[in-house]
Amino acid sequence: MADKANCMSLNSRNTGIALVNKFFILLLIVAVNSLCASCDSGQSPRGDIQKSDTKAVETPSASPAFNKTANQAQERSYEAAIRKGEYAAALAELRLLSEKGDAAAQYALGWMYLRGLAVPQSYTETEKWWRLAAEQGHLEAQTNLGSMYAIGMGVPRDYKEAAKWIRKAAEQNFPHAQYNYGVALQNGLGVPQDYAEAMKWYLKAAQQGHTGACTKIGEMYSKGSGVPKDNQEALKWYKKGAVEGDPAGQFHLAVVYDRGEIVSRDDKEAVRLFRAAAEKGIANAQIQLGIKYYKGQGVSQDYVQAYKWFYIAAQQGSPHAQEAMSIASKHMNQSEITEAIRLAREEKITKIETFTATEHLYDKRLLK
């Protein structure tokens, strides 16, 4: 098993900031939870917290990270321009190199079309250039191309095609792809469902520092999927993910402390972890943090704060938030509700790049 060091934050070699996470799930593929953030269950202030079920997928990166080879030790001019945000200046060189078959340039050009930087946004052009790079073995391009098929972004949704490209990168030891391929196997997306095989790929990713994979391993132990059910092992892996800032890991660990079934109940620690995940845009954590304020567990009872977090979750589309707001509002006057909304709008949420498709949560760490 990978020890704690194995789950240290991954210095992504080709991806900049991981674009979410709850991949595949939709592929993680799309590649991420990451988002993990992952529970499809959340609950109103009236009941106990429900068990989470995280499905995340990672996606394309926030900006292209450039690999250096022995023949490419120095930064290219287009790389420097991109890092400075001078996209128009980078475009001419990127086009020239891309037309000549340079995979790194093709990947970067596809990313510019994805973001609409110095060119009109076009998923079709993104797919075109990423495919050319992927066919030459470019890891991020393979992973992100798979994500596009998992999402149906610019191409018809095709889980088999998504899994095919993700596996190519996973077999080259790319941790984001390994994580995404694990999600595909766990959920039977484009490949036969195989929990044991999914665990294998999660472990490979975790051993390279993928924090979302640490959390997924915890989920597998918690459910007894592909491994014997072991709550202590689940707790160990949740802690590894949470310590390194994975929002899904923080959420799961908060639930553990909130329930007090595996460890002694600790409302203050649950609040701390729910808050950490909530501030990263995890709607279920926002709901649970609101419940804590509503009930006065681990914090002083505060209906304004409860309503604030329910309101924030509602803005992210949480199906439970409106009911929670309605319940909290029965204890508030209009002035307090107005204040809660003001505070919610001022709250700085670092939104995880995730999106939901059907019941799946995708961690968009690579497709940004």
Q: In this predicted structure, what is the pLDDT of residue 139?
A: 94
More confident position, 313 or 357: 313
Could you tell me where the beta strands, DSSP code E, fall in the chain? 354-357, 360-363
Maximum distance among all Cα pairs of the chain, rounded to whole angstroms:
68
Indicate whether 222 belongs to any domain: yes
Band the pLDDT of 39: cuts 50, 70, 90.
Answer: very low
- Does the structure show a pLDDT above 50 at 24? no
Number of domains in the chain: 1
Band the pLDDT of 239: cuts 50, 70, 90.
Answer: very high
* Per-residue model confidence as pLDDT tens digits over 287-329: 999 999 999 999 999 999 999 999 999 998 888 999 999 999 9
- Average pLDDT on 336-358 reads 74
Indicate whether 28 belongs to any domain: yes
Radius of gyration of the CA atoms of the chain, in A: 21
Band the pLDDT of 349: cuts 50, 70, 90.
Answer: confident
Q: In this predicted structure, what is the pLDDT of residue 58?
A: 57
Indicate whether 40 belongs to any domain: yes
CATH number of the structural domain spanning residue 181: 1.25.40.10
Query: Measuring CA to CA, how many Å separate 187 from each of 184, 222, 320?
Result: 5, 16, 25
- Does the structure show a pLDDT above 90 at 352? no
Indicate whether 207 belongs to any domain: yes
List helix spans (H) across 135-210.
139-151, 159-170, 175-187, 195-206
DSSP 201: H
Indicate whether 325 belongs to any domain: no
- Average pLDDT on 167-179 reads 95
Residue 245, phi-psi category: left (phi > 0), alpha (psi -120 to 50), beta (remainder): left
Q: What's the domain range around 259? A: 4-282+352-363
Q: In this predicted structure, what is the pLDDT of residue 350?
A: 75
Q: In this predicted structure, what is the pLDDT of residue 63?
A: 52
* Per-residue model confidence as pLDDT tens digits over 41-83: 333 222 222 233 334 455 545 455 544 443 344 568 888 898 8
More confident position, 299 or 352: 299
Indicate whether 59 belongs to any domain: yes
Structure tokens at 367: 């497709």
Indicate whether 120 belongs to any domain: yes
pLDDT averaged over every residue in the chain: 81
Indicate whether 309 belongs to any domain: no
Of the ranges 44-48, 122-126, 224-228, 348-352, which one carries the lowest mean pLDDT score? 44-48
